Structure 1
Amino acid sequence: MEPEPLSFNTPDGDPVTWEVEAEPWHDPFERRLTLVVQGTKLIQRRVPRAEGREREYLYDLLENEARMGARLLTRLRRAYPAELPRLLGYSLDADEPFVLLSDHRGEPVTRHFGSLLIAEQRALQASLFRAVRILSACGIVHRRIEPATVRWDGAVVQLTDLSHATLAGDRRLRLGEPPYASPAQRSGTGVASTSDDLWSAGMVLYRTITGREIADLPDLAAAPALQPIHDVFSGAPPSAPEVLTRLRVPDPMQSIPLEQDLGLEEGRAAFDRAREARREGVAATAEGETVVQPVPPTEPRRPWWARWLPLAVLVVLLVVLWLVTR
């Protein structure tokens, strides 16, 4: 791997250039980088030019991931939790825009289906609901908690992919499929709520702990460790802090200082500027495309006598004035 310069903006909006070594693109949307000086590993998530041309919504998903990452940094800057991905930078006005994130930890839980010991099952459950609780305290609903977005290193969960996340209280958009997306989320009714993430987390835990496929509601008799959370699948689910209390897990927000949401914070303002610059670029004329400019509205054509009427009136006035002054 040959070192290469990588220019982007930090979460605070400062332009920087790092020298990195990049692993080959096995996934066109994601690759692993290594900082040459520090040796730190990080993840670059991007939208390839060809993919963005065919599916423009991918730009919106990437921007949303950066926005949610910036929100978490603003709220959790003094004590960032291990359960969540950390935004390191972004470049949204590049030909192939990207975000930089902290390196992944552990492996997807898909590799642990049905193989965890009792103590590991409890640790996985506690850590995943900790992650949901921290997101809820920051006003974020992940919306895509499923085996592909949950990683496990044997001690702590890491939630990945915030591209579909939204703010709690925003209108629900129809997203996901059973069993991991809640019925309300699948139908797109009401507003986004932490209850959506609790449902999804419960389904991921059931699938991972039992190793069994799920058609609809899980049979928790096959997973005694999940008995305390049986009602996350009900019409009246508990709150995230209530779930942790049942699991005898301390509320992480008692020890994590939560910053106020500063809407005018400079980092966010810089991110917004970068986002608008990218959107302006997308709006530019595509190669070979003909753009028809709108024709400004014109006044309706007047009859011939209407055009001469003002001049006729002026002539009459002049004649009258001449006759009066004789």
Structure 2
Amino acid sequence: MTDPGALKIDFVDVDGGLRQWKVLGRREVPDVPGSGMTLAEIEAEAESGPVLLVQKSIGREADDADPGLYARLENEVRVGLLLRRRFGGPGYPAELARLVGYDVDGGEPFALFERFVGPFAAEVAGRLLLDEQRSFQTSLLRGVRMLEQVAVVHRGITPYSVRWDGHRAQLTDFETAAPAFRVRRAAGTRPWASPQQRVGGGGTCARDDVWSAGMVIYHMSVGLASAAALERDPDLGLVEPRTKELLTGVFAQKAVHRPHPVELLGRLNVQDPLPPPPEEPDRGFREGGHRFDELMRQKHGTAYRRPPEPADRVVRDEDEPEPEAAAHRGEPTMPRQAPPPPPRPGAGAGVAVAIVITLVVIGVILWLLGGLVG
């Protein structure tokens, strides 16, 4: 790491408090491909002692080239705050990147995380032993399940948003995350994104992430030998039998035919450890960004506007499970839209009677007028 001298880092912590930590060391690390943000590993002096951090920031030039980076940084912050509130302090799961704080008021806004557990999973694809593959699969699917429990769809699971330290996988990079059961917006590329996610339409759901996690598991088993291999459909004949059993149905074209994350954990003989969420997840997703919004308005004035949310909050299509079936598995359910009221009995007959009466009255008037003229 470089010696930053007396450099300090100022940020807002996850409780909304202002912090200033002395930077003991800093070094740039490889950026996430396709992200546009810059990553740096930092050693800082916190109140409790030295801490290891990852800073994900937007450079001035990057901001000018891609204004959408602010919205993606906002997703990082909102999801991070929601996860911190949901899963607490010391027991926070290692399978999910842990937000420490953020700064959106400076010239180069950033989100600050605890140090990621290891390098990109892509760096060790095809080189894991069978027991390591099992550990990777279990921890990755636990991360997917935890996001599903708070009704968040990652939408960006690739070998470059998953980290691996030899014992566990960790999900990072929530730039394109979205609440579940919202209108799908096209995101991601083949092969990592599901067919529904790539084209948009319908409603976001955990089975989008099931496809992506399954594809990462598949390539961790067979290796990323060439770009051409990514364009072919997965060949489960290339993986060992237990992984083949795990991935059965994961790449179904319709999302409703894919297994739920809890079912996949069951195939690994891992019980679902999560109780129901203590509050409405969507409300937590919104409230988690209030402080962020305030700081953005201070930075940009009245010109700042949050990205609009889809008007249709309840989205159903043929790729999504029926609410009754979802309830049996502990999934978040979507309320049914009330059907239009049926027509009142006799409404059509009443119209016909009114027409007949009108014609009779007109006939009588014409007959009377004819008599007067005669």
**Structure-1-length-normalised TM-score:** 0.80
CA contact (8 A) 2:250 2:259 kept: yes
Moved more, 166-175 or 23-32: 23-32
Does residue 238 of structure 1 match 2:284? no
Gaps of 5+ in 1: 284-326
**Partners of 2:21 and 2:210 in 1: CA distance:** 39
CA RMSD of aligned residues (A): 2.1
CA contact (8 A) 1:172 1:191 kept: yes
Does residue 280 of structure 1 match 2:301? yes
Instruction: Give 1:109's aligned residue.
Output: 121
CA contact (8 A) 2:188 2:198 kept: yes
**Partners of 2:145 and 2:83 in 1: CA distance:** 13
User: Larger radius of gyration, structure 1 or 2?
Assistant: 1
Instruction: Give 1:67's aligned residue.
Output: 78
3-state SS of paired residue (1:148) = coil
Moved more, 29-38 or 67-76: 29-38
**Partners of 1:190 and 1:279 in 2: CA distance:** 34
Aligned residue-pair number: 281
Q: Which has the higher contact order (CA 8 A, sep 6+)?
A: 1
Percent of pairs with identical residues: 36
Instruction: Give 1:30's aligned residue.
Output: 39
* 1:278–1:191 CA distance, 2 compared to 1 (3 A): farther
* 1:22–1:172 CA distance, 2 compared to 1 (3 A): farther
Where in structure 2 are the equivalents of 1:1-326 lying within 5 Å?
1=3, 2-25=5-28, 29-36=38-45, 38-78=49-89, 79-212=91-224, 213-223=229-239, 224-226=241-243, 227-234=245-252, 235=254, 236-254=257-275, 258-261=277-280, 263=283, 268-280=289-301
CA contact (8 A) 1:171 1:190 kept: yes
**Structure-2-length-normalised TM-score:** 0.70
Deviations along 1:166-219, one digit per CA (max 9) or x if unpaired, are 111111111111110100000112111111110001111111111153324211
**Partners of 2:278 and 2:123 in 1: CA distance:** 36
Task: Return the letter of the residue paired with 1:280.
Answer: G
3-state SS of paired residue (1:147) = coil
CA contact (8 A) 1:141 1:193 kept: yes
Deviations along 1:130-189, one digit per CA (max 9) or x if unpaired, are 110011001111111001111111111111101111111111111111110100000112
CA-CA distance at 1:258 after TM superposition:
4.2
Moved more, 219-228 or 87-96: 219-228
Moved more, 272-281 or 142-151: 272-281
* 1:161–1:281 CA distance, 2 compared to 1 (3 A): farther
CA-CA distance at 1:248 after TM superposition:
0.8
* 1:52–1:131 CA distance, 2 compared to 1 (3 A): same
Instruction: Give 1:319's aligned residue.
Output: none
**Partners of 1:240 and 1:8 in 2: CA distance:** 35
**Partners of 1:32 and 1:11 in 2: CA distance:** 19
**Partners of 1:261 and 1:54 in 2: CA distance:** 37
